[in-house]
Amino acid sequence: MSALRRLLPGLLLAALPVLVHAHGEAVSIPSVAARDVPRALAVRGELGAPPRGVVELKFGEIFRTPVGPLGLEPSEKLATLDGKRVRMVGYVVPLYPPAEDRFLLSPLAVDIGHEDESLADNIPPSAVMVHLSEPAGATIPRIPGLVRLTGTLSVGSREDAASGRVSSVQLTLDAPVTRAVRRVSREAARSAETPRHRH
């Protein structure tokens, strides 16, 4: 067996991840710098009480604990908040394929994994599908750090038509919060087009 014949399949295999990687790069999601996160969203230091009429909902309160023998079950608190205004604090997880009107809010700072990988999926079941009250007009970007969001809660399993993702809790953002997300999304899209130069 000649050395070339032995090496060739290996060389071809070695070239493949580059192509895949290049393919993956074709659809990139813009990022926001920490200093550009709007004050209306950022969590800096101790968070005060939510505004009147708004209930604080923590991720740890979404399911009953301890976990039941046959799986997670929604908590009573969650059921009582259906249709009510709540405030949640978590990490923005942009959707894949990229979306302009919704994203996931997760208790962990994670990305959506690719279909074929993952020993465990890394989006926890308590993640909430967040809908803007109107589309941002740009891809929802990666936003670093914790954000606080206020909106109206909706409880019940719902499938997202574009991504096929099924969420058990949804949050429709209040108009002022939607405006803040729109602003940061458009700015992120603009700076992705015109990369900043170092001075």
Alpha-carbon Rg for the chain in angstroms: 20
Q: Does 24 bind other proteins (CB under 8 A)?
A: no
* Residue the block writes with tokens 């599908």: 129
CB of 180 to other proteins, least distance (A): 23
- C-alpha–C-alpha distance, residues 36 and 134, integer Å: 22
Query: For residue 183, which amino acid is it?
Result: R
Stretch that binds other proteins, among 42-50, 133-141, 161-169, 177-185 (CB under 8 A): 161-169
**By CB under 8 A, residue 199 contacts other proteins:** no
What tokens does 169 get?
Answer: 């809790």
- CA 2 – CA 124 distance, rounded (Å): 51
Q: Is 24 helix (H, G, I), strand (E, B) or coil?
A: helix
Q: How far is the CB of 9 from other proteins (least distance, A)?
A: 4
Of 37 and 95, nearer to other proteins (C-beta) is: 95
Residues within the interface to other proteins (CB under 8 A): 1-2, 4-5, 8-10, 12-13, 16, 59-60, 63, 65-74, 104, 106-109, 112-113, 115-127, 129, 157, 159, 163-168
